[in-house]
């Protein structure tokens, strides 16, 4: 089964989609993401870590 980055992105949790989308599709800084989502920069940093981890887990599960 061939799966693309966009397919994996769609499988992410809603908050992880938002933070990754703002970071990589709109090139927002962590500060801008924090303001857009009413979070602290520390929360954005933690969420980015979790989002990348979720993306990696999903990617690996489809590429086995």
What domain range includes position 55? 16-62
pLDDT tens per residue, range 24-47: 999 999 999 999 999 999 999 999
- CA–CA separation, 64 vs 30, rounded Å? 33
Indicate whether 8 belongs to any domain. Answer: no
Quick one: what percent of the chain has pLDDT higher than 90?
Answer: 77
DSSP, collapsed to helix, strand or coil, labels residue 55 as helix
Count Cα atoms within 13 angstroms, Cβ side, for 3.
Answer: 14
- CA–CA separation, 14 vs 11, rounded Å? 9
What is the number of domains present in the chain?
1
Indicate whether 7 belongs to any domain. Answer: no
Structure tokens at 34: 């924090």
Which residues, including other chains, have CB under 8 Å from residue 39's CB and lie 6 or more apart? Answer: 33, 47
What pLDDT, on the 0 to 100 scale, is given for residue 24? 94
Indicate whether 2 belongs to any domain. Answer: no
Indicate whether 36 belongs to any domain. Answer: yes
């Amino acid at each position: 089964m061939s799966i693309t980055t966009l397919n994996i992105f769609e499988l992410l949790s809603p908050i992880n989609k938002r933070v990754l989308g703002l970071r990589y599709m709109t090139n927002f800084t962590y500060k801008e993401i924090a303001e857009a989502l009413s979070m602290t920069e520390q929360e954005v940093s933690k969420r980015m870590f979790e989002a990348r981890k979720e993306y990696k887990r999903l990617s690996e599960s489809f590429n086995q």
